[in-house]
Chains A and B, each alone.
Chain A
Amino acid sequence: MIGVRSAIPRKRVLQRRFGSKGLAVCLSAMLLAEVLLLNSQSTSAGEKSELDSKSTEVKIQKDEATVSTSSETSVKKPKRAEVPIELQPYRVQVSITFGSDPLLTMGYRESVLQKIRAAVERILGQMWTLKVEENLWLSPPGMRGLEQLTSESETERFGKASCDKVYIVTVEVLGGRYRISGREWDRSTQVLGRLATRETFQRRTVAADVFTLVHGLFQPIVAIDEADNDTATIRVQAGQFPSVDPDAAQLTTKQFFIPIFRYLDKKKVVRKIQFLPWTYLMVQSVDRARATCSVESGLRAPLGGARRRVEKIAIGIRPSYGATRLILVPRKNPSKPLISHHVNVVMNPPTSSKESIKKQLEIEALHLLTDRSGAVTIPVNFEYPLVKLYVHSGTSLLARVPFVSGVEPEIYLRLPSDSLRLGVEGQLALLEGELVDTVARRATHIALARLYARDGKWEQVDEQIDGFKKVHGIKYFEQQLKAIQFPAVQAAKLQKNRSAEFRIKRLIQRTTDVLGRHLSPDKIRDFENEMDELR
């Protein structure tokens, strides 16, 4: 069988990226994203409060919530918990699997391990407490083995180990070249990261390449100290142990972090880990272990206030793909993607005033249209990785979220259904066309009647007045509006889609205002009076 269309299920994509435990985290993040979107659209106070409450009460379903609270995977309160995070060096374990090629002799393997240790010491210094060992459990011992690992399996494997980050690395010989692959497992997020690969033709540089790969996979962990809607202060782990090589510094300006909420129980055991979707921290200034970040989020209060037993941390991100495929799906029926929806991507730094944002949207934005799978491909903007996404449906804005493309290959954005409102918009467009004709007809009759009246041709004037009266009046259009509004509002109520109901009513009201302006009965009376006076 030739598989010709296999839409990668959401679960599989997330598994690939984060493993099954990561999947749970992602799913919870997606749920939160919905809340975020709702929040971004809602205008009424009632909606706001509802969404706010939702955002704090997101629960992970038990079957999916593999962030276990069991004793095996729990993180017991470390003894050195009292030590500030910036004084905690990273406990890093590098686990290297060598291929079975005869070139990779025991001596060579040992020398590679030794060189890695030396490189870490030389470049990172005390920032890392390194443990390098040869991995004997990975099977198959190569890139394929790495691909098969999941977040769950690695959390289970390394949960008890006293390390903050584990790098599982493989070295294979392919013909004349060496392929080095690796993945990062992070204790804070309990997520197995993406697979990275390097190749070299020089046997002697393998160790250096392994270090480069590992360092490339390394994402710093920060604790969020203070945060409001716009800025946040962070402290980076091992921040007081700066790297020997200044180029290997953990914090740099314009670096991005994704906030993570770690929910702890009374025993300070991690009960749940929640990635805050569509929210990014961008480092603005660095002061050794501390940094000030700007907060970019679709949420109104993304980081909230201080809470008990909730750790607010963030992990660094870096675009590693050329583009990300953004898939729009309706909230209630994710299997039916949102086809042919406008997604505007503002690639430049955001401007402050509303007018400028509008201008940006019109001129500078990248205008995309979702394809038949509801997807658009958002390229990485290397100059300014953080872009703003505006999802439109007709005249309505469905979502406005910040986004760093290239971090993940594929991401879903769940949106509320706008079909009812859009249907009404279409019907109103037709009615407005009829209204234009009617107004033009009336204007023609008035103009001709005045012309004839000036020449004293009263019979023709009467004809024009008759014609004027035959043209549809405001009552006709009001009836039409009611006929459009009623079924649409009823359907919205049935769907419990208050947002749609509100928007439909607003659209109808706008058209009613237009009717009043152009077909006001006063105008008819004025015209008749004018003719009577002329007579």
Chain B
Amino acid sequence: MSKHTRQHSERSQSVAKHARFGSFQIGLVRGLYVIQITMILLAVFVENVATGQTRQLVLTTFESEASGPDEDEKQRYPKLNEMQLPTVEEIFKKHPFDWVVTNNEDVHIVYPVSPRPDRSNKWEKDIRNLLENRPKGYPRRGLLEVVLHEDGILEDGNHEDSSYEIDKRRIQQIKYYEDLVLERVDKLLEKKAFRQAFALILFLERRRDSNWPGMDRRKNRLIFLDAMRMRDQKKPQSALVFFEDLYARDPEYRDSQDRTLQEEIGQVCDGLIRAALVQSDFRQARFFLRRLTDMDPQHQVAVKWKADLVARAKNLLTQSANASQDGKHDEAVSLLDRATRIWPTTPGLRDAHRKASNRFQRIKVGVLRFAGDPTPYFLPTDEDKRHNHLIQTTLFEIDRSDEAPHYRSRFFEEWEPTDLGRQMVFTLRQSRSYWESQPVVTASSIASTLAARLDPTHPAYDERMASYIHSLTPRSPFELVVNFSRVPVRTVALFRFPLIAVESELNSGETVDSNELKLASKVLSWRFKIHEKSPQRVVYRRIAPEPENVNEYHVAEVAKIKFNSYDKAIQGLNRGEVSMLPRVPIWTIDKFRNDERYVVRDYALPTTHVLQFNPNSEPLKNLVLRRAMAYALNRRQVLTEIILHDSESRRGRIVSAPFPSNSYAYADLSMVVPREHDLKLAYALAVVAEKQLKEKFRPLKLYCPPEPVVKAAAEKLIEQWKRIGVTVTLITQSAARPTRRSAMRPQWDLVYRTIQMAEPILELWPFLTIDTQAHVTSLIHLPDWLRQELVGLDQAGDWETAVSLLHRLHQQLAAYVHSIPLWEVDDVIVIRKTVRGFPKHPIHSYQDIERWIVQPEFPTVLPLGPKIRGKIGKKL
């Protein structure tokens, strides 16, 4: 081959390549490429002419006015009827191609020709302009330049001559690549190969050929057939999603078998609504109904079910009216609540619901567990404490707390210390407000309770109180005098206990636990009681209902609803299933604060997290090991990463005592500095402890409250202890729940506690001894000097002495590592704005609940998800 020929061949190949790639270019640059290609072709042509070595094929093609290949060549092209549609594999693997079918039904398999069908015809216009202003010698109009596809090159053909022009008059049709693919899609749909069909459609869409004629039709067919498949597979909800999608695309869709979309949607929705109603899940029924009406409000299925639901709701409305007339307000509200769940927009329902809900107010509270639910944790859980706060009221209760708590009483009108505090005269209230639910008591009841607490043989015996009170005298039914043998520092704080009935003696031989239970059953000062209990719901009601015909009613019922996790509880709050969450993870608080629907209230006392050691645990009797474990903890890390999710720790602090850092008992930093994390020191101490114990540390058992965040924190602490060679196992399941009295037995080594200590003068002793009261015998495990400090605190006669002793105890407990105070957290309660009368800084979750007012909250019409709403909105 001569040099020129070789050059020409190279140029031709280059041109072919350019032509091939040029057809793939996209966007605005596509036109420019076309111009460039044209220019290159022109340049080559001019060069060839100049050199007199014009290629025969090209000249023939140009000069014979696209007569095409000669007769011999005709034999070599496949006929249209011989052609096979490209397979899925070919489509994905090979370069795109078009079929150019000539009048004699020859098929030229070529790289996609240009221009392509385009609605805007922009390309064609560009080409037209270019050709009209073509330079001299440029091919005339009516020729289609093609580049043979690799599949189109014949066996005996010249590979170098793959680019040529065809006279348009000889072209019968061009089968574009997209059409070929869509034809394959049709074939696949017929075979119900939806996945492959969908893949091909997606393939075309990614080629930016989404507007290709016939594409929508295939898509719709695919969606319809897929929906039908879902329906046949008993997945009506999935089918409905597909139908909704199809409805948004083409509401009038009708398939080849004359099945209409309207009918199919109706059929699916009908099944879904019926199934929901069988399960009495009206909310879900309304949800499907709403989805149907959003598509077609007049759909006969929608009309039918709507009428049915309205009828049911109206029936309940009537029943509610009857119940209300009979004074059964709770029943009336229940019926109306049910009606609102069935069809909230029932005429007259909103008014009736408002009236009934005002008369019998209910509040729903989201909790993660109920009081008394089985757990290996042997101390009262937070929910146990909340349960007690809800059901009982004490003679004196904390009203508010700053540095020290301030008390009030529902039972006493006034209490006056006389004889320099050695005597206290209690004057009882002779009546109660209509909204209060505690019983009216007389001096003799209180005297009986006090006498029981002073009787060493009674299970309610209060050793501390017995040491304070010398005698008590009921002067009249509403006046009681208590004489003290020594003056208590916080007199009223001694009276933070519920009233109990003391008519019968306990049988000898009963265990302490059963006595405690018996004692609990004898409480007189109830305010709420459990009305109904199920695995998912506990309902509490007032002991004394509010009378008729008063201006304003208050909470009559508290329903606790159990959720599996905080996420679900928060979801429940957002959905309106509950109105209050007594505790939420700290990191979610900001979301609630920014939400106008909720009020977020800080508790008056922060929650302190503390680790306590079992005094009977042999390894933990070793002070060096306890110090090692304290130094090993990176408390700041756990606080910021696990508890708060906030590197700035805005709602939590590292502490060195089990009482709040703003308490009068908390010594300032000049006396006690929280122990810093020091892994090296911890390791060294652990080594020393191991030598002292003369054996390897056995795995220690840690019990922690059944609370997800606390559990996560405990797991992190265990991880940190592992670094110094101390293995700690978190006990999450236990066959036998150790009783509180058996807390001192060596079944456990560490316990994680969350406490709110309002009155350290009185509460520190029971806390340290893990007891309910300040029993002297519980101190037996403490060193003598610490015992005498606690006794000294108990015997303190004035406030200054008591506070100074507490500061010293704070210092001593921290140094002695009796426990490991971890951190304190500013917990909050989240409540809907519909609840009024809630304290600004509650001491506990149900403080003053008798005075809360719950405004009726009528269920809103179910909102649709953003997908459906968006599509429908867009369509409309």
Contact = CB atoms under 8 A, between A and B. Distances in A.
A342 B451 contact: no
A443 B684 contact: yes
A458 to B, nearest CB: 20
A4 B451 CA distance: 7
Interface residues of A, number: 35
Nearest to B455: A4
A425 B463 contact: no
Interface in A388-420: 392-394, 419
Interface in B755-794: 776-777, 779-780, 783-791
Contact of A429 (B680, B783, B787, B788): B783
B722 to A, nearest CB: 19
Given A2-B473, A5-B471, A422 B788 contact: yes
Interface stretch (A83-91, A319-327, A432-440, A527-535): A432-440
B864 to A, nearest CB: 64
A466 to B, nearest CB: 15
B389 to A, nearest CB: 29
A286 interface: no
Interface string A323-364: 000000000000000011110000000000000000000000
A487 interface: no
Contacts of B451: 2, 4
Contacts of B623: 433, 436
Contacts of A434: 815
Given A4-B469, A340-B788, A371 B685 contact: no
Nearest to A423: B785
Nearest to A1: B473
A443 B684 CA distance: 8
Contacts, number: 104
A467 to B, nearest CB: 10
A444 B485 CA distance: 55
Interface string A1-13: 1111100000000
B122 interface: no
A367 B472 contact: no
A367 B451 CA distance: 30
B816 interface: yes
Contact of B471 (A4, A372, A443): A4
Contacts of A372: 463-464, 466-467, 776
A444 B631 CA distance: 14
A369 interface: yes
Contact of B776 (A339, A426, A441): A339
Contacts of B684: 440-441, 443-444, 447
Interface string B453-486: 0100000000110110111110000000000010
A288 B790 CA distance: 57
A126 interface: no
Interface string A425-466: 110011001101100110110011000000000000000000
Given A4-B471, A423-B785, A440-B684, A369 B779 contact: yes
A378 B485 CA distance: 27
Contacts of A430: 811-812, 815-816
Contacts of B472: 2, 4
A370 interface: yes
B454 A4 contact: yes
B395 interface: no
A436 B791 contact: no
B688 interface: yes
Nearest to A5: B470
B180 interface: no
A372 B464 CA distance: 8
B740 to A, nearest CB: 20
Contacts of B149: none
Contacts of B627: 433, 436-437
A371 B785 contact: no
Interface size class of B (residues with CB under 8 A): 35 or more
Per DSSP, chain B at the interface is helix
Given A4-B454, A426-B812, A369 B780 contact: yes
A393 B784 CA distance: 7
A340 B783 contact: no
B471 A429 contact: no
B463 A437 contact: no
Contact of A440 (B454, B685, B776, B817): B685
B754 to A, nearest CB: 26
Interface string A137-173: 0000000000000000000000000000000000000
B784 A342 contact: yes
Nearest to A439: B688
A440 B784 contact: no
Contacts of A419: 788
Interface string B671-686: 0000000001101110
B164 to A, nearest CB: 79
B624 interface: yes
Contacts of A425: 784-785
A339 B784 CA distance: 11
B447 interface: yes
Nearest to B779: A340
Contacts of B777: 369, 371
A429 B780 contact: no
Contacts of B683: 444
A52 B5 CA distance: 140
A432 to B, nearest CB: 8
Contacts of A441: 681, 684
Contact of B785 (A392, A429, A444): A429
B684 to A, nearest CB: 4
A418 to B, nearest CB: 9
A426 B784 CA distance: 8
Contacts of B471: 1-5
B624 A444 contact: no
Nearest to B774: A372
A444 B684 CA distance: 6
Given A5-B470, A433-B816, A440 B780 contact: no
Contacts of A444: 680-681, 683-684
Contacts of A447: 684
B816 A5 contact: no
B743 to A, nearest CB: 17
Given A4-B454, A429-B783, A437 B470 contact: no
B788 A5 contact: no
Given A436-B623, A440-B681, A371 B776 contact: yes
Nearest to A369: B780
Nearest to B482: A4
Contacts of A342: 780, 784
Contacts of A423: 785, 788
Nearest to B453: A4
Given A372-B463, A394-B785, A422-B788, A4 B776 contact: no
Interface in A445-501: 447-448
A83 to B, nearest CB: 53
A5 B811 contact: no
Contacts of B680: 444, 448
> Interface centre among A341, A370, A372, A447, by most B CB within 10 Å?
A372
Interface in A96-112: none
A472 to B, nearest CB: 13
> Interface centre among A4, A339, A372, A447, by most B CB within 10 Å?
A4
Nearest to B624: A436
Contacts of B681: 437, 440-441, 444
Interface string A259-289: 0000000000000000000000000000000
Interface string B806-829: 000001100111000000000000
5 contacts: A5-B470, A5-B471, A437-B685, A443-B684, A448-B680
List the 6 closest pairs (A to B, CB-CB), nearest first: A426-B785, A394-B784, A430-B815, A440-B684, A372-B467, A444-B684
Given A5-B470, A5-B471, A5-B485, 8 more contacts: A4-B470, A340-B779, A340-B791, A392-B784, A423-B785, A436-B624, A440-B685, A444-B684
